[in-house]
Structure 1
Amino acid sequence: MNRIYNSQPLPSVWIDERAAQQDVRVEVPDATGHVWPQTRPQLDIRKQAEKPEYYEAISMIMKYRNTYLRDRSVFVEGEDMVKLLGALGATAEDFEAIQQVSDHLDTDPTLPFRRSRNGRFCFDFGTRSVRRLEFQPFALSLEEDFKRHDSGQVRVFDEVQDELQLNTAFQALLVFKAMVCHGIATRPRPKLDYGSNKWVCTLFNLRTVTRPDMLGEPALEGVHTDGVDHTMTTYLGSSNMAPNSAVTLMHDMRETTGIRFNQIKPELIVARAHHRHFLDTLLIVDHERKHSISPVYAVDTSREATRDMLIFFTRRPVTRNLNHVSEGIDSLAAHRKMPMEIPLFVPEVID
């Protein structure tokens, strides 16, 4: 991918003053015994407004947005993501810390080869901010092109902690996703409220594990979609993982949901991506591109191999009284015990 740094005219910026930077107090220790710092500064992109690299980053993000609008997917190399997130205010300390966050994951509710946590966030384009939402269980159904043994099952994940949500690199990823996806029309999903100015973002921090007795599969479900409007996947790191592992293929919507990676039709492959470097990031218009991922293989097959990811599922809220699988677990109430809210940059829609 060519790296383009020349500037463009900037869209207007909308930011609500109530989403100003604060020092957020963090409870210590958490349930795992891990101890967090007592306070941590929050990302405030307005504080970057006097820095030339901030405007270069906005220009470059708008170019990625144009690619996403045209191709319905875009891959951003990690080297470029580090520069972009740093220009938005992410700190060097938090780039280091986010690479260790997956060490504190708990067991997954349904998959033995995975460790996981999740959390819910609201992109609120009325307040021009993103905030943490209260805990809710999670479900994906066959109706949403997700075919697996736990399709439709309500799953309860352990929650993402402040270690991640108060990390400025993570917060900058949220800002980046909102900037790329805001205002892009997509094929609508049934039973979602496209009149709302809010988006629900369910975040998964996942570690896929392969051992001599167990193959880790980032997408055991085979060819699928994620039941949302926009999926973003960001690579944090790996250990003992073979270089041919975890290749992502994107498929025409005519491909059969649920078939294995080795059963796909080559003529229906529309794009390919491979997360290999820290912060390699892929965005997909989820209801227009099915996708699949190959397994995680070990270099040394006698030892455990791991792959750590952040997965951002973003969709409009559920429309009530239409029997969507998530209707009863789609609260927009803020999280009281682990609050977080930061301002967004929102480009004016000109499409």
Structure 2
Amino acid sequence: MRAALAGVGSLDDWQAFAESWNRLGPDPYLARTGRARRRRHAVFTASSDGTIRGEANQPHFQSSEYNRLQGDIERWFEPITDAVADGDCLRTILRYCVAFFGGLSPDVAQWRIEVHQFRIEARPGEAGEPTPEGVHRDGVDYVLVLMVDRRNIESGTTTIHLADGTELGSFTLTAAFDAALVDDGRVFHGVTAVTPFDPAQAAHRDVLVVTLRRS
């Protein structure tokens, strides 16, 4: 995956990009359910010619059809910082997504792109839930999940399912740049909870999630 990304742009600021996960804000909506997650969020618009434009900070919204846990509400999160949004890595990742997924849907002239930085923390006696809504669809066209950092955790296995629940396969993103590319209109996905190998040490799973929806 790293080679594929490098084929469309620079990844020179990867270290700063990965370190930005240390400055994510809390997810206040998830905290209301007794769960913990840290995140930042941003919205972009992309044209089929590859032009990508950052949009003003705005809420993330999913209907209850796709998110039974937190659907039908506008959720406002701390925005992705300008340094990350304008940096080489994120712009390269977005260009890759537009080219790759655009090749699967050549009729789409413009995409709405949402970008999420997620950190799931695993604590002593408390597993971290990467997808607290369970096996689900995001209600978009395509999804990229990119591993950024994985520290002192076990599990976190991604599963892919048909609509009737039949599991098609599973895999675990373990190293930086490991990725899942999902056709959200055709399959469901989920991730198992993560627990720390050493409960005395910090443990987290850092991923970038990019979703594309025709606009």
How big is each residue's C-alpha offset from its partner over 1:126-175, in whole Å with a ceiling of 9 and x where there is no partner? Answer: x53111111111111222x3221x22121110000122112212211111
Letter in 2 for 1:197: A
State whether structure 2 residue 55 is matched by structure 1 residue 133: yes
State whether structure 2 residue 199 is matched by structure 1 residue 301: yes
Letter in 1 for 2:39: S
State whether structure 2 residue 176 is matched by structure 1 residue 254: no
State whether structure 2 residue 38 is matched by structure 1 residue 118: no
Alignment match, 1:154: 74
- SS of the residue aligned with 1:100? helix
Distance 1:303 1:153 in 2: 35
Distance 1:271 1:180 in 2: 22
Distance 1:103 1:280 in 2: 20
Alignment match, 1:45: none
The answer as to whether partners of 1:109 and 1:155 remain within 8 angstroms in 2 is: no
The answer as to whether partners of 2:50 and 2:99 remain within 8 angstroms in 1 is: no
* Shift of residue 283, structure 1, vs aligned partner: 0.6
Change (3 A) 1:128 1:304: closer
How big is each residue's C-alpha offset from its partner over 1:301-349, in whole Å with a ceiling of 9 and x where there is no partner? Answer: 23331110100111023xxxxxxxxxxxxxxxxxxxxxxxxxxxxxxxx
Alignment match, 2:89: 169
Larger Rg: 1
The answer as to whether partners of 2:114 and 2:211 remain within 8 angstroms in 1 is: yes
Distance 1:196 1:102 in 2: 32
The answer as to whether partners of 1:212 and 1:304 remain within 8 angstroms in 2 is: no
Letter in 2 for 1:138: H
Scaled by the length of structure 2, the TM-score of the pair is: 0.91
More strand by share: 2
Which consecutive aligned stretches of 4+ in structure 1 deviate over 3 angstroms post-superposition? none
The answer as to whether partners of 1:147 and 1:224 remain within 8 angstroms in 2 is: no
Distance 2:39 2:108 in 1: 30
Distance 2:54 2:134 in 1: 30
Letter in 1 for 2:68: K
What fraction of aligned residue pairs are identical, expressed as a percent?
26
Distance 2:27 2:43 in 1: 17
Distance 2:16 2:24 in 1: 14
The answer as to whether partners of 2:102 and 2:108 remain within 8 angstroms in 1 is: no
Query: What count of residue pairs does the alignment treat as equivalent?
Result: 211
The answer as to whether partners of 1:231 and 1:286 remain within 8 angstroms in 2 is: yes
* Shift of residue 84, structure 1, vs aligned partner: 2.6
The answer as to whether partners of 2:144 and 2:180 remain within 8 angstroms in 1 is: yes
List runs of 5+ in structure 1 lacking aligned partners.
Answer: 1-80, 187-194, 256-267, 318-351
* Shift of residue 219, structure 1, vs aligned partner: 0.6
* Shift of residue 196, structure 1, vs aligned partner: 6.0
State whether structure 2 residue 27 is matched by structure 1 residue 84: no
* Shift of residue 179, structure 1, vs aligned partner: 1.2
* Shift of residue 82, structure 1, vs aligned partner: 2.2
Distance 1:211 1:163 in 2: 30
Alignment match, 2:26: 107
Distance 2:75 2:187 in 1: 25
Q: CA RMSD in A?
A: 1.8
The answer as to whether partners of 1:218 and 1:294 remain within 8 angstroms in 2 is: yes
The answer as to whether partners of 1:212 and 1:303 remain within 8 angstroms in 2 is: no
Change (3 A) 1:294 1:233: same
Distance 2:120 2:28 in 1: 14
* Higher mean C-alpha deviation, range 82-91 or range 246-255: 82-91
State whether structure 2 residue 177 is matched by structure 1 residue 279: yes
